[in-house]
Structure 1
Amino acid sequence: MNVSPVAAPIAAQAPSRPTVGVLALQGDVSEHVAALEHCGAEPVLVRRASELAAVDALVLPGGESTAISKLLEVFDLLEPLRARLREGMPAFGSCAGMILLASEVLDTRPDAQHLFGIDMTVRRNAFGRQVDSFEVDLAFHGLDDGPMRAVFIRAPWVERAGADVEVLATVPDGPFAGRIVAVRQGNVVATAFHPEVTGDLRVHEMFVDLVRAA
């Protein structure tokens, strides 16, 4: 008598572990690396065009936007990064990263470069200088489990969001009520604040899920 083999149970498929680069020229790189690791990504440091070419997505950290833009030119990363964004590479920028991803930047140096990753106009240092840093609870579109504590440090805001740009968060009250501080266009996300410093990893989780889907 022939006995049919017993089918092996199908194991639940583990979520993919995408390779997410962190631009490591200047700024709070290590905080993003730790957040990405916790969210199931494989973070790698990106300082060269060859390293950029090998990643599925890129995080542009907070720091000094004009310094980072100058270093992009020094390390021959500016045009390769613009090209990858045009090709649809997912990207996430926080604070200085938001400035770099903009199509237009106000109150910056005339020789500063930006990446045209999101159709938006961003005002640099819009909330004031370092002494004007503050925290506030934000409702963030698409994130569950209540508001997000947002830390603003010499932060920008978005003065114009293009027709294809989704506004994810605005300042809820006070003198800056209604200012746009988080946006998304396609596979590119930007926040004026620093979600990597609070321990609330929902923005990073959302981004890693976006990378997997892309």
Structure 2
Amino acid sequence: MLGTDPTNTDTDGDGVIDGMEVTDNTDPLDPCDFLLVSQTVEPSPEWKNQDCDMDGLNNEDEMERGTNLTNPDSDGDMILDGQEVNDYTDPLDACSSKGGTAPSNISCELFVELDLVKPGDILNGSFRIINIDRFPDNRVEIYNRWGVLVWETTGYDNENNAFDGKSMGRITIIENQKLPAGVYFYEIKYVHKGEDKMKNGYLYLMR
């Protein structure tokens, strides 16, 4: 009745056995009509060579890259996955594209969400710079209220290389000394698409 091959459990070769396709309400005769979560057998070579979502990458390429086989724009930046590969950008990163636009719920810019540092606190134990990982060529400097540089680093990463309220040993400041609570001034210098950028502002250190 279905027209499937009784000698082949996966008639269309998409990696989902015919019985499961019936359960999923997908077409066991259409290699591009399937549910990813139901793929339990090795897809056929013919299926791997197809491009089900017409994004310029065949199914095998998508499986290897981790992109969505049924969505031509896996990261939602309005650039097809295949074009991103050709552009040497990341089809899984909405902030990595040439001419694309990230979805409204994703921010690609560098910013400070919370300017509070409370050493020992699980969430706010260090100064966190959102999206700093997108700009590895960076330099962060922190000054006290008198303009004395008390902490600086390059390659800030929010984890192993982050400001947690201790000094870096500048002039009259002893290295690793716990800085007093109060207001500090920060400067974040980074490179974005070959252009020098800078953000600055105040942070609050609590004890």
Fold match by TM threshold 0.5: no
Task: Flag the structure with higher strand content.
Answer: 1
Q: Relative contact order (alpha carbons < 8 A, sep ≥ 6): 1 or 2 greater? A: 1
Task: Flag the structure with higher helix content.
Answer: 1
Bigger-Rg structure (1/2): 2
TM range (shorter): under 0.3
